[in-house]
Amino acid sequence: MHRPRLAVLTALALSPLVLSACGSDDASSAGAASGATVVKISVTDDGCVPSPATAAAGPLEFQVVNTGANRVTEAEVLQDGKILGEKENLTPGLSGSFTLRLTAGDYVVACPNAATDQSAFQVTGAAASTTANADLSKSVETYQAYLENQAKGLTASTTKFVAAVQAGDVQRAKALFAPTRAYYERIEPVAESLRRPRPADRRPRERRRRHRHLDGVPPHREGALAGRLDEGPRRRRRPACSPT
């Protein structure tokens, strides 16, 4: 990871949005975060409509429950194509939650692979001001150091992983993949907030469902690759028979 990228990661640690983003493995185990408005999201194969669909600005706790979806295992809150918070790996029956401090504006609740994969969510009014204190400042410093440590670990581990792949050492690459990925998972809420809208987000919805693995492919190559996949495997031409 380049230094400018790392600097942005650590700077975002100072953001109220990032500071307020947290998760829980069970949406019903501890109730709402202190002072947070609860927004329930039931994930199904049809979609993930938030309830309520409008909330006042300030801390919001999104409680996500997979009520039987087989194609959908996550829910995300986005604005302008950027993921602000999410809960992943929710197989049928599992639940989880995350908390965000949101200002007034239009947002989207997304659940990839659902029949209707996006639902509107609106935040209104102005959030109450918060006063910084010594404990908060210490938390910011601690989280900033954590981000830096994980980003450095990701860079070092990725270098080893890439070297193993380039050397053709498949077994070592397999062994390095999971621990390397773990570094990114720990900083994902911040890293995702830096991401620009993907070219894939502008792709027609039906094609996007069929070819989600094309996410990240340069726009000038998307059409050709998707077209080949739509056509199916190409048959190898037989050489013409030579006259006897």
Angle between helices 134-166 and 170-193 (to 10 degrees): 150
8 is a domain residue? no
Q: How confident is the model at residue 18 (pLDDT cuts 50, 70, 90)?
A: very low
**pLDDT tens per residue across span 89-139:** 999 999 999 999 999 999 999 999 999 999 999 999 886 666 666 777 888
By residue range, what is the domain housing residue 74?
A: 19-124
**pLDDT tens per residue across span 198-226:** 544 444 444 444 444 455 555 445 555 55
Give the chain's count of helices (H) and strands (E): 6, 10
Residue-level pLDDT at 227: 54
**Residues of the chain above pLDDT 90, percent:** 48
The number of distinct structural domains making up the chain is: 1
Long-range CB contacts for residues 129-137, cutoff 8 Å, separation at least 24: 130/16, 136/19
180 is a domain residue? no
50 is a domain residue? yes
- Give yes or no for a cis peptide into 52 (omega within 30° of 0): yes
User: What mean pLDDT comes out for the span 157-183?
Assistant: 94
Q: How confident is the model at residue 236 (pLDDT cuts 50, 70, 90)?
A: low
CATH number of the domain within which 43 lies: 2.60.40.420
Task: Read off the pTM.
Answer: 0.55
78 is a domain residue? yes
168 is a domain residue? no
| CA-based R_g, the chain, Å | 22
Q: Is the pLDDT of residue 16 over 50?
A: no
90 is a domain residue? yes
